[in-house]
Amino acid sequence: MTAIETDAALPWPHPPVKVGLVGAGPWARAVHARVLAAGPETRLTAVWARRAEAARETAEPHGAAAVTRFEELLDGCEAVAFAVPPAVQAELAPLAAKAGKALLLEKPLGVDLASARRLADAVDEAGVVSQLVLTNRYHPATREFLTRARELEITGARSCLLHGAFLGGEFATTWRLEHGALLDLGPHLLDLLDAAVGPIVRVRGTGDPRRWIELTCEHANGVVSQASLSGSVHVEQGNTRIELFGPQAPLVYDATELDHEETWSVLRREFATAVRTGVSGELDVHRGLHLQRLMAQASES
């Protein structure tokens, strides 16, 4: 626990954090707007998007304002949440940081390492709180898995994150189809492997990120892990699985059946706690920059 309790079941005895939302796409509507408006730790004050009609459709169900200028959004909030393509986030998040706003960031931070580094530098220069939306990391089952993993002697690991969203539908967006699974799915799986097995120091990749990419990760403790990524395969539901092997029985993490509704209250409480205490948690912009470095290595190889 920090100075402010982070247990999502406890009452929130502080004023809600006023959050402005950048973006009005399917993820912004399904998650960001709904979760931030639910409170009690946060209050959705306004939504800005480049399509005014989409901003209005996202804001109105939650009693938030739809603003026509990004600067107007900044004027009415303490924190800014981003649910936009990585290139847009990397362009606008530094401006929000410069304005003194806490940042709730999507992954990846940017489309390349240079833009991610500029965003991290802007956060450091402004001294603002940042937090990354790595969905699985806020789920109690994931945290239990990581606690158990850190107690194991691990010889090797294999993992996968597979789904069919790139084949069609509202999440087959331009940036995902262009950059593929490495940028979209890579942060999730690399983060979990890094946390479960030990810090990753090098990644090699092979394959086509728009179809199927295979990663070999070298960890600081000498362990080697494998990761398979694809958003272009037909599976009934998304498949996230990690297997840890060693002298003991394998430890398996399977997120297929996880109910992500258990995630959002934890994420919201921890972001509000970070804002109210002025102290970022583990999953901050520097975690995002670390993951971006690993993806850059995989892409270069």
Return per-residue pLDDT of the chain as tens, 301 residues: 333 445 666 889 899 999 999 999 999 999 999 999 999 999 999 999 999 999 999 999 999 999 999 999 999 999 999 999 999 999 999 999 999 999 999 999 999 999 999 999 999 999 999 999 999 999 999 999 999 999 999 999 999 999 999 999 988 899 999 999 999 999 999 999 999 999 999 999 999 999 999 999 999 999 999 999 999 999 988 899 999 999 999 999 999 989 989 999 999 999 999 999 999 999 999 999 999 999 999 999 8
Q: How far is CA 14 from CA 10, 27, 81, in A?
A: 12, 28, 20
Starting at the edge strand found earlier in the chain, the sheet holding 200-208 runs: 200-208, 212-219, 224-230, 156-162, 239-245, 251-254
Domain that holds residue 77: 17-134+261-282
Q: Do 165 and 111 belong together in one domain?
A: no
Residues in the chain: 301
The answer to the question of residue 274 being in a domain is yes
Q: Do 22 and 123 belong together in one domain?
A: yes
Q: Do 124 and 230 belong together in one domain?
A: no
75: CB partners within 8 A, 6+ apart: none
Q: What is the pLDDT of residue 6?
A: 52
Q: What is the pLDDT of residue 9?
A: 67
The answer to the question of residue 114 being in a domain is yes
Domains in the chain: how many in total?
2
Instruction: Name the E strands within 186-300.
Output: 200-208, 212-219, 224-230, 239-245, 251-254
Q: Do 124 and 63 belong together in one domain?
A: yes
Q: Do 130 and 265 belong together in one domain?
A: yes
- Distance, in Å, from the CA atom of 275 to the CA atom of 103, rounded to the nearest integer, reads 9
Q: Do 28 and 64 belong together in one domain?
A: yes
Q: Do 45 and 73 belong together in one domain?
A: yes
